[in-house]
Amino acid sequence: MKILTGYLKGKTLLFEPEAQLRPTADKVRKAVFDVLQGYAEGKRVLDLYSGTGAMGFEALSQKASFVVFVEKDLPKVRRIEALLKRWKLDDSAEVICQDALGAVERLRMGGEVFDLVFMDPPYGGELGVDTLRVLAEAGVLNRGGFAFVETGRREDLPEEVVNLKMVRDRKYGQSRLRIYQKM
């Protein structure tokens, strides 16, 4: 898997295939950063359910000021940390080894806020809705900020969750991408 955009374009994310690892497809990542059209530059980004870290690395490649990667699987965390170090990005990022819901609470307690959030929870459960609700209630997304949520094609999410309003809903193969904006 390679970085698709920005100054890191073409660099390879080295991850071994695993049954439970479902990286965001290239066409979905490309679509996200086409929609953003440079919005990530100078922004603080939260990458929940990081997995390979592809979304966070794309944001760093687009000159995001800081990215927090959240992944509960320690080997994946170590791989993200190794890439950050290899590409000399460790001053521009933090990696939290914790479940996403707990990490959002931790970030709230630390007074952290973000302009952009990426979420790619495991397909087929309630984690998409639960994470959106926790994110909205925690207040870690700045007003006007965006949350991108990738789910399975047939999964439903509400039009509004607390102060987050869905502004876009697109299908890409077996995936579905929703964009919420904080009002």
Return d(Cα 4, Cα 54) in angstroms, integer: 9
Q: Distance between CA 179 and CA 183 in Å, rounded?
A: 13
pTM: predicted TM-score of the whole model, two decimal places:
0.92
CATH of the domain at 37: 3.40.50.150
Look at 164 and 1; give whichever has higher pLDDT.
164
In a domain, 109, yes or no: yes
Q: What is the pLDDT of residues 11-27, one digit of tens each?
A: 988 766 555 555 677 77
pLDDT at 122: 84
Candidates 166, 170, 108; CA nearest to 141 is: 108
Does residue 13 lie within any of the structural domains?
A: no
Question: Does residue 146 fall inside a structural domain?
Answer: yes
Residue 145's pLDDT band (boundaries 50, 70, 90)?
Answer: very high
Q: Flag whether pLDDT at 170 surpasses 70.
A: yes
Q: What is the arrangement of strands in the sheet containing 164-172, beginning at the earlier edge strand?
A: 93-97, 66-71, 44-48, 114-119, 141-152, 175-182, 164-172, 160-161
Residue 137: predicted pLDDT: 95
Q: Give the per-residue pLDDT at 23.
A: 65
72-111 residue pLDDT tens = 999 999 999 999 999 999 999 999 999 999 999 999 999 9
Quick check: is 67 in a domain? yes
Phi-psi region of 77 (alpha: psi -120 to 50; beta: other; left: phi over 0): alpha
* The total number of structural domains that make up the chain: 1
In a domain, 5, yes or no: no
Q: Name the strand (E) or helix (H) holding 35.
A: helix 26-36
pLDDT at residue 31, rounded to an integer: 81
The more confident residue out of 156 and 22 is 156
Its domain, for residue 64, covers: 24-182
* 8 falls within a domain: no
